[in-house]
Amino acid sequence: MEHFNRYPIILLGNGTLHRGCKMRQTILAVLSLSTLAVLLTGCGGDMVLLNSKGPVAQGQSDLMMTAIYLMLLVVIPSAIMALWFGWKYRASNKDADYRPTWAHSTVIEIVVWGIPCIIIGILAYLTWWGSHKYDPYRPLESDKAPLTVQVISEQFKWVFVYPEQNIATVNEVRFPEKTPVNFNITSNFTMNSFFIPQLAGQIYAMAGMQTQLHMLADTQGVYRGFSSNYSGYGFTQMRFLAHSVSEPAFAEWVAAVKAGNGTSVNPEAVQKTILDQAEFATLRDGNRSKYQIESMVANAKTDLEKKLAATAEAEGPYPTKPHPVTYYSSVEPKLFESVINKYMSNYHGADHSAAGTHEAAASDAHADVEPASSVVGE
């Protein structure tokens, strides 16, 4: 009985007693808003989602905050009324009206149903408008020609190819300020998510497919980028820096990388010559821990188990820190397309990749897939 009387008694319109429910709802609302404030920091404590540096990110941030303010029109009055009801109808208040036969109020019905319906209608329109306005596939309007960057999600790092400049980088991307950047994105392993919170929304990177993201940086600066989709033990190390620089600085950086002197701009980077198929294959990290690999090698019995153990041993354990920034003075032609086509061959029964070494594997894959396709067709 002592526990039962801990919460105030609230008399509802239908005459039922309701103890402490409103108070618990208020506490949940406060906790939800506090959690939202933490999440808006982007887990970095610098409020990146509310510190936009580009028109796309700014528009998405404004849309998000508008939706939050509209919802607070319901949350805040509800929280205030929950506290007020709890105080007004507390057990010690003998002056509170007691109306056991009260059951209906047209005004209350209009308020509690009309206002939420209006807010939902506004949110629906804003969602429809925003999904078209900030469509990641929609090119940005600008007087300047866009810069094209091809992005490959590798295990566990990001590879950036500049087809027009014929250079490539790992875990770093640079572009001129106030210039539209068109990212063409794919993956060389499982699905990932490409995300630079202060400049644009996230977009998925998927094997055998090409997604797009258009963005623009209003000011010079260095912005954090990362993978926002779990893709294995080492995905937390898929972090990179996006540098928005002046046009002369960008041209200087491109010239330095092409000349094999990219470290003059970034002394912490590693400069290499060409990013071809052989070099690209070395960029893949392992996806198992050291102890998992040792267990696989020790317990391998069948030929398949020995093959998998040998592959895991050759790849090594998953990374515990991001791959160092790496510059390449040149890139093998159509490297980006070959990554996409390597996976597309499994679906279309023909090898579309640039490297001829994949022809036999593609033919074997087609031979295995064809009977299954026939069965499905029947």
Convert the pLDDT of each residue in 244-276 to its tens digit: 999 999 999 999 999 999 999 999 999 999 999
Q: Count CB neighbours of 203 within 10 A.
A: 21
pLDDT above 60 for 221: yes
Share of the chain above pLDDT 90, in %: 50
Can you give the pLDDT at residue 21?
A: 55
Confidence (pLDDT) at 26: 60
Residue 22, pLDDT score? 55
Residue boundaries of the structural domains of the chain: 4-133, 147-281
**How sure is the predictor about 10, in pLDDT bands with cuts at 50, 70 and 90?**
very low
Q: Could you tell me what percent of the chain has a pLDDT over 70?
A: 79
CATH topology of domain 147-281: Immunoglobulin-like (2.60.40)
Q: What is the mean pLDDT of residues 55-74?
A: 90
- Does the pLDDT at position 204 exceed 70? yes
pLDDT of residue 370: 38
What's the rounded mean pLDDT across residues 293-309?
91
User: Quick check: 337 and 280 in contact, CB under 8 A?
Assistant: no
> Could you tell me the sign of the dihedral formed by the alpha carbons of 287, 291, 292, 296, in that order?
positive
**Please, which residues have CB within 8 angstroms of residue 235's CB and are 6 or more apart in sequence?**
156, 192, 227, 229
Residue 327: name the closest of 282, 277, 270, 281 by CA.
270
Reply yes or no on whether the pLDDT at 3 is more than 80. no
Q: How confident is the model at residue 171 (pLDDT cuts 50, 70, 90)?
A: very high
Report how far residue 230's alpha carbon sits from residue 304's, in angstroms, rounded to the nearest whole number: 27
Please say if the pLDDT value at position 364 is more than 80. no
In the predicted structure, residue 368 carries a pLDDT above the cut 50: no
